[in-house]
Structure 1
């Protein structure tokens, strides 16, 4: 299953050659925030005001070495994948741009449409 993680292009450029990513997130939150493709539109507004170019890491969850827990921290009736440990970069299947319209709203990438029922 593919799960998504959003980050700035600048940050990815700094870490993509490393074996692992996410130490800062783990120190701050205890895990790395991710989302299913189907629910990403719900978390996408969190990135609306970021002016830097953003990317989506398409992570093959079957290749992630760390423990992934699907949790509903906000009791909203939806569970999101949290990676409890650093992300092994070789589990990243693809990196695609975070697409926005003129209002800053997320646009679903064509590459992701194959994974969901629209």
Structure 2
């Protein structure tokens, strides 16, 4: 499984369109995701203080788009990137994901 933190607006749009997409696909050519071990670090770095967050659990084998594990920041850590939209049938679960005051 790979994971994507998102908000209610993007999730509602996915429900209407039949697939998940985010601004990073248009900006960078892929959707940023995380492994389960990377989720909290990503949440604290990029989503601290935000509310109405959701965590999408994505089944890698159900993706029709290309999945690449890459180090795009030179940190030595590989992150999963999805090069295309994510069909709803690839999303195993959508969970409420609310940070506490200090992050997650």
The question of a shared fold, defined as TM-score above 0.5 by the shorter chain, is answered with yes
Relative contact order, CA 8 A, sep 6+: which one is greater? Answer: 2
1:77 and 2:84 correspond: no
The equivalences for 1:58-73 within 5 A come to 58-73=57-72
How big is the shift at 1:95? 0.4
5+ residue gaps, structure 2, are: none
Superposition CA RMSD, Å = 1.5
Give yes or no for contact 2:4–2:34 (8 Å, CA) kept in 1: yes
State how many pairs are aligned.
103
Give the Cα separation in 2 of the matches to 1:97 and 1:5: 12
Q: 1:35 — aligned with what?
A: 34
Q: 1:19-64, CA deviations, whole angstroms, 9 ceiling, x for partnerless residues? A: 22216332111100000001112211210132x3000000001101
Q: 1:3 — aligned with what?
A: 2
Q: 1:49-108, CA deviations, whole angstroms, 9 ceiling, x for partnerless residues? A: 32x3000000001101100000011121210000001111110000001132232x11xx
Give the Cα separation in 1 of the matches to 2:22 and 2:40: 25
Q: 1:90 — aligned with what?
A: 89
Point out 4+ residue stretches in structure 1 off by more than 3 angstroms.
Answer: none
* Structure 1 length-normalised TM: 0.79
* Structure in which a larger fraction of residues adopt helix: 2
* Structure 2 length-normalised TM: 0.89
5+ residue gaps, structure 1, are: 107-118
